[in-house]
Chains A and B, each alone.
Chain A
Amino acid sequence: MNKPVEITKLSPKDFETDQEVRWCPGCGDYAILKGVQMALANTGARPENTVFVSGIGCSSRFPYYISTYGFHTIHGRAPGFATGIKLTNPDLDVWLVTGDGDGLSIGGNHMLHVLRRNVDLQIMLFNNEIYGLTKGQYSPTSRPGLKTPSSPYGSVDAPLSPCVFALGAGARFVARGIDTSLKELPITLARAKEHKGASFVEIYQNCIVYNDNVFGEFTEKKTAQDTQIHLKDGERMIFGKDIKKGLRFNQDKFALEVVILGENGITEDDILIHDEKNRHMAFMLCEIEAPEYPAVCGVIYCNPSESYDHSVTAQIEKVKETKKADFNALLRSGRTWIVD
């Protein structure tokens, strides 16, 4: 029975299930699924110790397609379930899959609290700026003016930035990826997995049916190098096909700006160095948007602190050291009397 288990390295394929994938053909979710399977294989994840938890929506079908443990729950509430799982068995590696509607609209409250508590989870928010599964209504990240079945004259809702929300909620790890960037996404996800605490990863995901090409201005392969920046801790924020563009802090405007190396006397020294632990910088990086700025990808903020599940468990262990668990004594605590 107790033969040592041989840990064979698993490949991305080993994380596939026999279930027929039911996303629309061409949906960005397929690429993300692949990216996650790659990340799991690359990081040596064990299927039996891994749990994917989701809410409701297109993205939330995700657990059915990963051959780990999975719990497809109810709309917006995945953080609650994931917290309960983690508090019961902190050794499990728990991933949470949600979308812009599930995670920021109906589940916005839970997202806020799971991030501030810093429960040790990887939270992937697939942002497609639309409600897919209910057939195309605008979401809390949809851009103003978007015409949908529930906004035939254009949406007048002010949108929310998921990463700014996460930082505001006190997240200790905030990152961003793009569905089709299969080179970078698995690396970012691996970093998320490594981080102890709530790791928030926004993934730009194209909904080919209801909001096609909404991220087109920076996901186009041909121009991607000029429209995306992939952050690396301790390195200067330089990007572009010719590696000539950079992000500089403009003190007069108190804002970031894109500059070109060699123009107007700009040298490398003017370009900001990415510091994952700098929360102010993280806010600025989360707030800038295409087309004026590049789409900021990679790990934007990573500044670990003790995770909630760890604190809860540690507190219990500490009490156990000093107090004996004696049930009969518990019932007899306080004032008792004897009838004979």
Chain B
Amino acid sequence: MSGQPFMKIQNSAIQELDSVVVRFAGDSGDGMQLTGSQFSVVTALEGSDLSTFPDFPAEIRAPVGTTFGVSAFQINFGSVEISTAGDEPDVLVIMNPAALKVNIGNLRKGGLIILDEGSFNIKNLKKAGYEINPLDDDSLSQYDVKRIDITKMTVEAVKEFGLGNKDALRCKNMWTLGLLLWMFGRKRQTIIESLEQKFASKPELAEANIAALNAGHAFGETAEMSYALHRYHVNRYKEEAGTYRTVNGNQSLSWGILAGSQLAGLKLVLGSYPITPASPLLHTLSGLKEFGVVTFQAEDEIAAICAAIGASFAGGLGMTTSSGPGIALKTEALGLAISTELPLIVVDIQRAGPSTGLPTKTEQSDLYQAVWGRNGDAPLVVLSVSNSTDGFDVGIEAVRIATKYMTPVMILSDGYIANASEPWRIPDINDYEPFPVKFHKDPEGFHPFLRNTETLARVWAKPGTEGLMHRIGGIEKDYNSGHISYDAVNHQKMTDVRKAKIDNIANDFPLQKVSLGTEGGKLAVVGWGSTSGAIHQAVKRARNDGMDVSHIHLRHIWPLPRNLEELLKSYDKVIVAEMNAGQLNTLLRSQYLLDTTLLSKVTGQPFKIQEITDAIIENLGGIK
């Protein structure tokens, strides 16, 4: 949250807020993700800047009422620039005792709790592990608690539709959403429309949900006095003119890669195997057949990448998507793509590890795997996605590099931005320069490892072309003929050229910019990937407070930008902030012999702004 603290106010006038963090928390079955995303849509449509954080358990249906079955959705929105989902909620919406137990620790002191009193029965309290009802002692005394029997009022509101008890209770989330919409003065119409759409085949469910939504809204109006409820107003955010939508990281990345394939003039062929949190890319692209996209749900991760490599061999753009454990399985095949120098897009939506780890929680711990994790000297290009909208441009750049240099490109995103939404000023595809692939056609002097002297890329000759029949594989190739070769000197030469080709791509990358602040100074905070919002806000605030600190955020992980060493060495001190045990930190130290300081967080949760602020202050020795 970047505005003033959310205040407990005493009068009923509408209070103006710069920004506010709301967290919806309930049981997995309470529909919190739907509630949160609907609230986000309305918030976006009314012009606030926003950032969301869906936080849900790995179990599809964990036992009802338990703490490990709690699902939450956090949204930070405001009339000011928002770049994280917020450190601490100002408003906590609680649908059962377990949700309170899991989420209360993070609520801002003095924050507002709206809770369903009806769910605080002995059974649910016991399941949540409460011995004493927290509503009966003073454990919540430092918060502004609104106890509302949402259960009862929802059942009442939908009575006329004759739903069973279970279906009736499922409307609780819409009742709650109605109340929140009233609180923030948001319109209901878009939600009503989407409920009508969602339940088109079951109109009684649509009507019941809409009735619950309206009842929650009406409750705000009528109970304003008796419950001391207040209304708030968050102004529009002054954004650049244009058409906007919300987008999450997986969406923007899917579209970016598809855009890249269109700009390259290639058929996109995705080989994939379902895995959290990468599956939405497979889902999105499977629905885009009108663009000629081929999607292949393979029998496993290995077959998925192999099909993608086969596609590139055949003259398409092969692509595979996964998360850490799946990428590990793809490793051997990735080596073949490097050895045969075929373009390939590999997407790794990182999650907390090692092994199965925490599948639905976020982390940035696959950087070593991406840059170094293969047998043999096997360099490739690694790009990273910094926020929910960034995937579009990263996707296009990945395709451009992969096809221009005939190399696999790995894109690192993570579970946080994969699911988090932000408003996005929709680009016009016609503003992007096409980079059509030129397949090799000329049989004169042809062999498959003929290289472009500038880019060092080999020629791409696809099957079906007369006179260019050739055989390639994982055995070392002769530099001059492309035939298999066991020659020692040749292996040195081929290893060198594969490395030189990737190193040289740094010259194609833009120079590393300072995201916020100055070139040179006392302190730089370096980050990559989804930490960008938190670092940005922390640095912005510190600079407003007069501290000499700058933010450098990397998109290009390998090769590193060619001016990065010089840039980093222009600061007295460099902090590397990342959600792992220090992987970029190791990389920068090994490349530049630079004495960096690590700020590591590995809890499965994104950085809080405050955590970075604290590190900035500490590293400036308290000196501003």
Interface residues of A (CB under 8 A from B): 5, 17, 19, 47-49, 51-53, 63-64, 66-74, 77, 79-89, 91-92, 109-110, 112-113, 312, 315-316, 319-320, 323-325, 327-328, 330-332, 334-340
Contact = CB atoms under 8 A, between A and B. Distances in A.
Contacts of A316: 289, 292-294
Contacts of B469: 47-48, 67-70
Interface in B424-449: 425-430
Nearest to B333: A74
A319 B473 CA distance: 36
A109 B300 CA distance: 9
Most buried by A among B240, B267, B305, B310: B310
B164 interface: no
A16 to B, nearest CB: 12
A73 B336 contact: yes
Interface residues of B, number: 73
A324 B305 CA distance: 29
A53 to B, nearest CB: 7
Nearest to B461: A69
B465 A73 contact: no
B427 A331 contact: yes
B294 A87 contact: yes
B290 A80 contact: no
B464 A48 contact: yes
Contacts of A49: 463-464
A81 B307 contact: yes
Nearest to B470: A69
16 contacts: A47-B469, A49-B464, A53-B310, A72-B473, A77-B302, A81-B307, A83-B296, A84-B309, A84-B318, A85-B311, A85-B314, A87-B307, A89-B315, A113-B299, A336-B244, A339-B241
A337 B471 CA distance: 53
Contacts of A335: 41, 44-45, 190, 245-246
A88 B316 contact: yes
A71 B296 contact: no
A63 B309 CA distance: 17
B129 interface: no
Contacts of B467: 48
A91 B245 CA distance: 40
A99 B258 CA distance: 37
Contact of A84 (B258, B259, B306, B428): B306
Contacts of B244: 336-339
A320 B241 contact: no
Nearest to A318: B289
B529 to A, nearest CB: 23
B402 to A, nearest CB: 15
A337 B47 contact: yes
Contacts of A113: 298-299, 303
B245 A327 contact: no
Interface string B43-84: 011010000000000000000000000000000000000000
B426 to A, nearest CB: 5
Most buried by A among B190, B267, B471, B472: B471
A92 B314 contact: yes
B473 A73 contact: yes
A324 B290 contact: yes
A307 to B, nearest CB: 14
Contacts of A91: 464
A103 B239 CA distance: 58
4 smallest beta-carbon distances between A and B, as pairs: A84-B310, A72-B473, A80-B306, A84-B307
Contacts of B306: 73-74, 77, 79-81, 83-84, 110
A331 B243 CA distance: 10
Given A80-B271, A80-B307, A335-B41, A63 B471 contact: yes
B313 A81 contact: yes
Contacts, number: 205
Given A19-B484, A83-B298, 6 more contacts: A48-B469, A74-B306, A324-B290, A331-B245, A335-B41, A336-B244
Nearest to B263: A327
Nearest to B292: A316
Nearest to A320: B290
A74 B332 contact: yes
A232 B165 CA distance: 67
B470 A70 contact: yes
Interface string B446-458: 0000000000000
B299 A110 contact: yes
Contacts of A72: 471-475
Given A70-B472, A82-B310, A110 B483 contact: no
Contacts of A51: 314, 463
Interface in B514-538: none
Given A88-B267, A330-B288, A336-B245, A80 B303 contact: yes
A328 B428 contact: yes
A43 B376 CA distance: 42
Given A84-B306, A339-B241, A89 B426 contact: no
Contacts of B315: 88-89
Most buried by A among B259, B314, B427: B314
Contacts of A79: 303, 306
A70 B483 CA distance: 12
Given A327-B291, A327-B429, A339 B240 contact: yes
Contacts of A5: 466
Most buried by A among B291, B303, B463: B463
A89 B45 contact: no
B262 interface: yes
B574 interface: no
Given A74-B336, A80-B303, A312-B294, A339 B472 contact: no
A92 B296 contact: no
Nearest to B472: A71
B105 interface: no
A99 to B, nearest CB: 16
Contacts of B468: 48
Interface in B238-260: 239-246, 255, 258-259
B270 to A, nearest CB: 10
Nearest to B428: A328
B465 A110 contact: no
A313 B422 CA distance: 35
Contacts of A339: 47, 239-242, 244, 425
Interface string B271-309: 100000000000000001111111010111011111111
A170 to B, nearest CB: 13
A180 B308 CA distance: 36
A54 B548 CA distance: 59
A92 B464 contact: yes
Contacts of A77: 302-303, 306, 333
A73 B44 CA distance: 49
Interface in B295-348: 296, 298-300, 302-316, 318, 332-333, 336, 340
